Structure 1
Amino acid sequence: MTQQGVRWTADRVLALAPDTASREAGGRLGAAGPWSGAGRSDEGAVWGLCGGSGSEPYRTVVDVADPSGPAYRCSCPSRRSPCKHALGLLLLWAGGDGAVPRAEAPEWAERWLAGRRGSAERERTADSPDSPGPPSGSADPEAARRRAERRAERVTAGAAELEQRLADLLRGGLAAAERSGDGLWEETAARMVDAQAPGLAARVRELGALPGTGPDWPVRLLEECALLHLLGRGWLHRERLPEGLAATVRSRIGLPASADGPPVRDRWLVLAQYDTADARLTTRRIWLYGTDSRRTALLISYGAAGRAPEIALPVGLALDAELSAYPGAGQPRAALGERFAPPAPTAARPPGTTTARAVARYGEALCDDPWLDSVPVTLDRVVPVPDGDGWQLADADGDTALPVVPSARSRPGLWRLVALSGGAPVTVFGECGHRGFTPLAAWPEGADEVVSLC
């Protein structure tokens, strides 16, 4: 389960997916059920046979030993690379449950591996100082640059097509969106997947879910269309944007990025951890607060095919570790690096603010990322009070309040917060956005121990 001494995880595998659909389909194939004849070699090859709709299983082989990145070969007709079978095989291999044992490669896999590595050896020879070709190391960066340019061209064509489709939608009137059903949206999303812009495809699918979902759906649809238009225009004119905002646009479009920020070592207080899941994928979000750097950071990990995400941290304890930030202006997401000690208790907590300042902070964050749903905020001395059919968090020392998001009203965590408060002020950490506030953790007045509300 390692390549060059680094253990592969489900996160690392899913980061290879060319689009959301491939990621989800690969996640479904990450269990042993559809696979037979799976094996791996000490030289960094993984192979297997995956049952599909045809009479013959698909032959899938992955070479993970290439320093420039994995290479894939599959007998399926998909034009995506990696295809869902390659992703599923890598997830099975990364699971480490013995489903992919060491074995001798079958003839069909060995033939491809030998041909590929023979070509790689010839390229290295051609790149040697004694050869008349270009200097060593120049081929791979140039190939990567050409691949990036081709993908950028496809994304640009997709963004331009999406602009035209949004214009057609508004020209015909939003009422037509309800009559057209899901077909129009799915077809548009598929076009964005073909353009290798999974972020655009996901937002199109979200648009398709809005028509007919309440009396104010036309307003929400228009708002989301405006944000999608803004994202498309941001990509088409990305060279005019500040670098931080351009990186945010690339991330929202769905282009892969690595956590290349300088490592920051700190004692990171684990504020909250919660999962969201569907039938194919579990996404785990962990909020951390640096007691020295006073930074709030977000870890995201994935679990495919019913597996729990790999990263799990105890809420309320502090972790001595390094984090590296992902690119993008104002982005809180980071990657967990080296850990220096086990999690330990701490009396530290993030500084709190008022509900009015929390809303202002979200507004300021939108300048860096207009597509941001929420920001992490700690509210100081607030009281949960009923508000008609819902709840709100009211400042104990002021006259402002924040509504609790409707989705949190039926969760046990809200009632745990109400019981914890008992009508007295509490400190609450959560996510503040345009839908309201989602409480995730709380401290009673004068207490140091955090109470999870997830």
Structure 2
Amino acid sequence: MLMTITAEQAQQAIPDANSQKAAKKLSRCEDWHNKGASSEQWIWGEITGSAIYQSAVFLPELKFECSCPSFKRPCKHALGLLLCYVDHQILFPMVDEQPERVKKWIEKKHKASQKATSSEPAKAVDPEARAKRLAAREKKVDDGIGTLEVWLHDLVRLGLAKARQDSYSLFNQISTRLTDAQATGLLAWIEALHTALFTEHWQQDSLNWLGRLNLVVHLWQRRSQLDPLLQAELRQLIGFTMTSDQLATLPFEKKHYWTLGHKIGALNDGKGRYRRQWLWQPEQQQPALLLDFEIGSFTHFPLALPLGQLQPLALQFYPSSVPCRAKLAEQPSTIAFSNDSIPQGAFAHFEQALQHHASRLSHNPLMTQECWLVENLYLHLIDNRVYAVDQQQALLPLSIQDHWKLMAAVGDQAFLLAAEWNGQQLDVLSVWQNNQMSCFY
């Protein structure tokens, strides 16, 4: 069975508006001839331009091939083929024999995959050498955390108002020190504190991040007393990554999840981007986070899951006292469309969501955000700030780039909201109303 590619997934592969326009012109099914597909998830076809061009797409990775002379990759022909497939998947028959050029592309892909996986067998990990490296790394982190503790105390003694004036030198100093100490995971929190100094409610926001950083200092200094899962969470936050052999041993479970929304942003160092994909497990009212990174031209985001769909996913959760971040144990090949047109298992009101969040926070005080799904909400505008109102008349502020678009979309009717909760406001991901999903990011 061929993979189902949604229009939203296809958009990920289109690099710019010009490519979008050109590909759309070449997406008409009648313009493509000798269309076909293989059980290995390749599709192909021929289109006539200044010559006859043959294009192919490897669906799991959206990898494109084309015989045209264009230097731009993916080219408009291959993108047009993909858009044609999105709208007319049934017209791509499975065949046993591929065209010669397509065979060569498939063989090239096979060889590249074999080269990546059939290199010399991985050397056995030397536990003693790994322990020594880990001890040396922890000693560096100890020194960096010690410096951070002194820096936080100095910041409070100096006063936050003074820190606003000298912020560049103060924050550049501690960022450099934490980088040298191999505790780069904390740089995001340092940047969050720096940003908080210049928000509208800077006193409250700054103290919030000061408290969180101080908590990290005390937990690290007492890490031997922590629950192993909380200690694992702390290490991931500081920047200790799991090795490939450790990731391979993570247990996985297969359940049905809704895909609620994506968030894409720039990394603090400006050298790449991150993408958060939020999933929702309706029976347990539990969020799951797929976190991916794109670093320059070296790595690219994998194919995102289709939005607003319920499908069975095999997930491996990173060690945590409150499991949330996960990785796909296997790439889904099809979408299991649900009879339900909107996600189930939503919170009935904000109090229920806050109680659930407080329970999770009591097990993992390092948690800074998670995804909520809340039903039967209404919009309310106060001093040009938009709020969500639940059935108990409780209000929480919403963060959205253009709240007028949201207000125009839902009007004065009830809606279902998916959003990131950071302890202060809800950052809108998507809404459902009248069985229709709208995304806002």
TM-score bracket for the superposition, by shorter chain length: 0.5 to 0.7
Which residue is 2:262 aligned to?
Answer: 273
Alignment of 1:152-167 (within 5 A): 152-167=138-153
Which residue is 2:413 aligned to?
Answer: 424
Which residue is 1:398 aligned to?
Answer: 392
Alignment of 1:338-353 (within 5 A): 338-339=330-331, 341-348=333-340, 349-353=343-347
Q: Any conservation in 2 of the 1:324–1:335 contact (CA below 8 Å)?
A: yes
Deviation of 1:241 (Å): 1.3
SS in 1 for 2:380: strand
Deviation of 1:156 (Å): 1.1
Task: List per-residue Cα deviations over 1:27-61 (Å, max 9, x = no partner).
Answer: xxxxxxxxxxxxxxxxxxxxxxxxxxxxxxxxxxx
Deviation of 1:293 (Å): 6.2
Q: In structure 2, do the counterparts of structure 1 residues 163 and 421 end up closer, same or farther at CA, with 3 Å as the change threshold? A: same
Which residue is 1:253 aligned to?
Answer: 238
Q: Any conservation in 1 of the 2:287–2:370 contact (CA below 8 Å)?
A: no
Which residue is 1:450 aligned to?
Answer: 437
Deviation of 1:453 (Å): 2.9
The CA distance in 2 between the partners of 1:246 and 1:282, in whole Å, is 27
The CA distance in 1 between the partners of 2:345 and 2:311, in whole Å, is 18
The CA distance in 1 between the partners of 2:383 and 2:154, in whole Å, is 40
Q: In structure 2, do the counterparts of structure 1 residues 451 and 346 end up closer, same or farther at CA, with 3 Å as the change threshold? A: farther
Whether 1:230 and 2:225 are equivalent positions in the alignment is: no
1:309 to 270, 289, 301: 301
Structure 1 unmatched ranges of 5 or more:
1-97, 103-116, 125-136
Aligned CA-pair RMSD: 2.8
1:297 to 288, 293, 298: 288
Which residue is 2:97 aligned to?
Answer: none
Which residue is 2:91 aligned to?
Answer: none
The CA distance in 1 between the partners of 2:294 and 2:282, in whole Å, is 29
Whether 1:243 and 2:237 are equivalent positions in the alignment is: no
Q: In structure 2, do the counterparts of structure 1 residues 294 and 181 end up closer, same or farther at CA, with 3 Å as the change threshold? A: closer
Letter in 1 for 2:339: A
Deviation of 1:415 (Å): 4.0
SS in 2 for 1:404: strand
Task: List per-residue Cα deviations over 1:191-244 (Å, max 9, x = no partner).
Answer: 111111112333233333444x25642333233222111101100101111222
The CA distance in 2 between the partners of 1:209 and 1:425, in whole Å, is 34
The CA distance in 2 between the partners of 1:439 and 1:178, in whole Å, is 30
Alignment of 1:99-118 (within 5 A): none
TM-score when normalising by structure 1? 0.63
TM-score when normalising by structure 2? 0.65
The CA distance in 2 between the partners of 1:263 and 1:331, in whole Å, is 12
The CA distance in 1 between the partners of 2:218 and 2:230, in whole Å, is 13
Q: Any conservation in 1 of the 2:287–2:372 contact (CA below 8 Å)?
A: no
Which residue is 2:279 aligned to?
Answer: 288
Q: Any conservation in 1 of the 2:199–2:205 contact (CA below 8 Å)?
A: no
More off after superposition, 309-318 vs 283-292: 283-292
The CA distance in 2 between the partners of 1:384 and 1:215, in whole Å, is 23
Which residue is 2:62 aligned to?
Answer: none
Letter in 2 for 1:347: N
2:316 to 324, 342, 346: 324
The CA distance in 2 between the partners of 1:293 and 1:378, in whole Å, is 12
Deviation of 1:294 (Å): 5.3
The CA distance in 1 between the partners of 2:151 and 2:312, in whole Å, is 50
The CA distance in 2 between the partners of 1:332 and 1:429, in whole Å, is 16
2:160 to 157, 170, 174: 174
Letter in 2 for 1:304: I
Which residue is 2:182 aligned to?
Answer: 196
Deviation of 1:181 (Å): 3.5
2:328 to 330, 336, 341: 336
Letter in 1 for 2:191: R
Letter in 1 for 2:194: G
Alignment of 1:78-97 (within 5 A): none
Task: List per-residue Cα deviations over 1:345-366 (Å, max 9, x = no partner).
Answer: 2234231220222233333332
Q: In structure 2, do the counterparts of structure 1 residues 266 and 331 end up closer, same or farther at CA, with 3 Å as the change threshold? A: closer
Q: Any conservation in 1 of the 2:311–2:337 contact (CA below 8 Å)?
A: no
Q: In structure 2, do the counterparts of structure 1 residues 377 and 216 end up closer, same or farther at CA, with 3 Å as the change threshold? A: closer
Whether 1:217 and 2:202 are equivalent positions in the alignment is: yes
The CA distance in 1 between the partners of 2:161 and 2:413, in whole Å, is 48
Whether 1:150 and 2:145 are equivalent positions in the alignment is: no
Q: Any conservation in 2 of the 1:300–1:333 contact (CA below 8 Å)?
A: yes
Q: Any conservation in 2 of the 1:273–1:313 contact (CA below 8 Å)?
A: no
SS in 2 for 1:196: coil
Q: Any conservation in 2 of the 1:330–1:365 contact (CA below 8 Å)?
A: yes
The CA distance in 2 between the partners of 1:347 and 1:416, in whole Å, is 29
SS in 2 for 1:265: strand
Task: List per-residue Cα deviations over 1:269-293 (Å, max 9, x = no partner).
Answer: 2221231136521211111224566
Which residue is 1:19 aligned to?
Answer: none
Structure 2 unmatched ranges of 5 or more:
1-107, 113-119
The CA distance in 1 between the partners of 2:386 and 2:148, in whole Å, is 39
Q: In structure 2, do the counterparts of structure 1 residues 346 and 195 end up closer, same or farther at CA, with 3 Å as the change threshold? A: same
Which residue is 2:355 aligned to?
Answer: 360
The CA distance in 1 between the partners of 2:167 and 2:375, in whole Å, is 45
The CA distance in 2 between the partners of 1:208 and 1:453, in whole Å, is 27
Deviation of 1:160 (Å): 1.4
SS in 1 for 2:126: helix
The CA distance in 2 between the partners of 1:284 and 1:340, in whole Å, is 19
Q: In structure 2, do the counterparts of structure 1 residues 420 and 201 end up closer, same or farther at CA, with 3 Å as the change threshold? A: closer
Which residue is 1:57 aligned to?
Answer: none
Q: Any conservation in 1 of the 2:285–2:346 contact (CA below 8 Å)?
A: no
